[in-house]
Structure 1
Amino acid sequence: MFDRLLYRGPSIEVLHEEYAKKGRLDERAPLTAAYEIRIEAPIRQVWKLLSDPPGWGTLDPDIHAIELGSAVAVDTPFTWKNGMARIKSRFAVVQPEREITWTGVSAGAYAVHRHVLEETADGATLVRTEESMGGPFLILFFSNAKLQATLEKWLTALKRAAEA
């Protein structure tokens, strides 16, 4: 328990270059979660929503104050708020209609957040999201269950918007 409480993990730069860009999470991070959902919409529609950070607030009202200085591309930085948490992020993987991954820092916590899309034989889209979060004392105010619920809420909102 004590190791998890004080876990710092790799620096954000190492997480970005050696983990996120290589399709990896921080498996040692004290917080990890994953969720997959089937969306009855073409992959291009799902991609359009995921690759539009300024529009994320229409999917989830907790997401706001999104600032993206340029196009969504590898290493492009952006900032946003999820509830009260201000997150400074950077895209690590941008493969249209396949994967979008970013890293982020908020209040000393470091995260890797991946979305992998797969087109089904019948034209629907499977989306798998997974995230790892680490940082000292993070587990005192955030939990795996809360991270799991956040991912489920996010993909459910994505599904609702894509199918509308």
Structure 2
Amino acid sequence: MMKKLIKIAGLILVVLALTVAGLEIDSSYQATKNIHENAPVVTKLQIVIDAPIDSVWKVFANVNRWPQWQKEIPGSKMDGSFKEGTSFDWKTHGLTIRSTFHTVEKNKEVGWSGPAFGSFAIHNWHFIKQGNKTVVKVEESMEGWLVWLLKGKFQAVNKGSLIYWLKALKTASEK
């Protein structure tokens, strides 16, 4: 009886592993400059930072220093220039992600996209000069089989992370 249960459990694990592998192989994500409004997870937020746009940009554009002010990112590494087409690796919420910039316009906007296990995200950041202050708007879409499966969890975590990121950027920029 025990051997039969072990065989059934093993078979279930193999079927699950093959299903996940098939989903990963079959996943085709469209990297665009705009977020995917129809994705299972879409988050849009903004914050006003009491600092000139040049100061905010300087903090944000230094990808290798993100972990110093954004504690949800324990590691980030960009090889190359802060420009369109450059890729960077970063860690957040236990995932290591490789993203590629699709947009970099100094003091105006930054956008990137990249896959992670079972997901694909597009991030866009907009910097708007408002006198001696800066309005930062962020928007992100996430999709993929795992995101679809755990939509509520991904939406909550994503919103919380972006709120934290905006507040951390505000704190670092206002120093």
Equivalent of 1:68, from 75, 78, 85?
Answer: 78
Q: What is the DSSP-based 3-state SS (H/G/I as helix, E as strand, rest coil) of the residue aligned with 2:145?
A: coil
Name the counterpart of 1:79: 89
Name the counterpart of 1:125: 134
Q: Name which of structure 1's ranges 139-148 and 122-131 shifts more when overlaid on structure 2.
A: 139-148
**Higher RCO (CA 8 Å, separation ≥ 6 residues):** 1
Q: How far 1:69 sits from its partner (Å)?
A: 1.1
Equivalent of 1:115, from 125, 147, 157?
Answer: 125
Q: Are 1:153 and 2:150 counterparts?
A: no
State the alpha-carbon separation in 2 of the partners of residues 31 and 61 from structure 1.
23
Considering fraction of residues, name the structure with more helix. Answer: 2
Q: Which runs of 4+ in 1 moved over 3 A?
A: none
Contact 2:118 2:145 in 1 (8 A): yes
Q: How far 1:149 sits from its partner (Å)?
A: 1.1
Q: Name which of structure 1's ranges 38-47 and 53-62 shifts more when overlaid on structure 2.
A: 53-62
Residue identity opposite 1:60 in structure 2: Q
Q: What is the DSSP-based 3-state SS (H/G/I as helix, E as strand, rest coil) of the residue aligned with 1:70?
A: coil
Q: Deviations over 1:47-105 (max 9, x none)?
A: 11111111110122221232211111101011110131111100010000000111011
Q: Name which of structure 1's ranges 139-148 and 25-34 shifts more when overlaid on structure 2.
A: 139-148
Over the matched positions of the two proteins, sequence identity in percent amounts to 31
Residue identity opposite 1:149 in structure 2: G
TM-score (norm 2): 0.79
RMSD: 1.6
Name the counterpart of 1:163: 174
Contact 2:75 2:91 in 1 (8 A): yes
- Gap regions ≥5 residues in structure 1: 1-5
Q: What is the DSSP-based 3-state SS (H/G/I as helix, E as strand, rest coil) of the residue aligned with 1:61?
A: coil
Residue identity opposite 1:34 in structure 2: K
* Matched ranges for 1:54-65 at <5 A: 54-65=64-75
Name the counterpart of 1:143: 154
Q: What is the DSSP-based 3-state SS (H/G/I as helix, E as strand, rest coil) of the residue aligned with 1:153?
A: helix
Q: How far 1:108 sits from its partner (Å)?
A: 2.6
The number of equivalent residue pairs is 148
Equivalent of 2:50, from 26, 40, 48?
Answer: 40
TM-score (norm 1): 0.84
